[in-house]
Amino acid sequence: MRKKEKVIDVGPNPGTGKKVAKIFVGIFVGFFVLIAVFSSFYTVGETESVVITTFGKATLVDEKGLHFKIPFVQKATKVDTTVRGIEIGYGEDSDGNTYSVEHESIMITSDYNFIDCDFYISYQVTDPIKYLYNSDQPDLIVKNIAMSSIRSTVSAFTVDNAITTGKAQIQSNVKTMIISELEDQDIGITLVDASIQDVEPPTDAVIEAFTAVETAKQGKESAINEANAYRNAKLPAAEAEADKIIQNAEAEKTARINEATGQAARFNKEYDEYVNYPLITKQRMFLETMSDVLPSLQVIIDQGNGEVMKYYPITELNKAAGVDTSKAAKSASGTTDTTGQDVE
């Protein structure tokens, strides 16, 4: 008799497959729940803002701390609101050493010369929503605006002004242009500062030449200041001397006018006397004149025959006779009254 053989089924068990499927579904659901839980919360730091988008609508969250959002529906995008900086015309390596970026720094001036101009631009995001959605690359836009403003401003200055006295004006004009352009672009960024770092000629030889020019200008200003100081020291003394001369002239003028006025009054008085008493006045004037002339007169009398001339020393005779000629002159210059007598 043959023995019955036992048949064992080694094919797939339907119950085992269901268990595996349940395990995978459980893992997936757990992973999904875990992701949902972790993506439902976000934090807003001290130096950032968060933009929440819900079905395409953006909302700004500025309140610092922990916040909740609907997972898989709302999206949170953090935006750094600290002050940022852009170097134009130069850069810094990892060791902190600076290097020149010539395609940014080389610019042309109004007198067709080249200069190497470096700027540092500071800006800040003030509207995160516009910063994220009004442009694709807002930071690059800021840099392009700054470079355009710098080149436009430098091109209006001569190389001499740009390197020496025009730096402050260039910086001010660049700030104004960047602010205006950022307002027109409306990308949520505000300029903090635009500071000029350095302006110099592009070659060493030209740098030395402009350094010499700058030294000469400083020497010129020093000479002008010294001249002004000398003028300020000498001017008061000169003005005082001029005032003294003017005052002396005024005094002399007044004295001359008073003397002329007195002489005119005396003449008018004598004329009035002459009108009233012409003969007496003529005699008095004659005697006064003679009293002034005769005391110092030396007379030579010619008899008319041409043979003998006699000298009469009147002055010596008067002295010999004891006549005081000065007293006689004073008495003769006295005033004659209407009766013809002298009055001292």
How many whole angstroms separate alpha carbon 205 and alpha carbon 229? 36
Q: pTM above the 0.85 mark? A: no
Q: DSSP string of 94-143?
A: TTS-EEE-HHHHEEE-TTS-EEEEEEEEEEEES-HHHHHHS-S-HHHHHH
* Residue 57 binned pLDDT confidence (cut-offs 50, 70, 90): confident
Give the model's pLDDT for residue 70: 75
How many whole angstroms separate alpha carbon 313 and alpha carbon 325? 14
Single-letter code of the amino acid located at 114: F
Query: Each residue of 281-333: pLDDT tens digit?
Result: 788 888 888 888 777 766 666 666 665 555 555 556 566 666 555 544 444 44
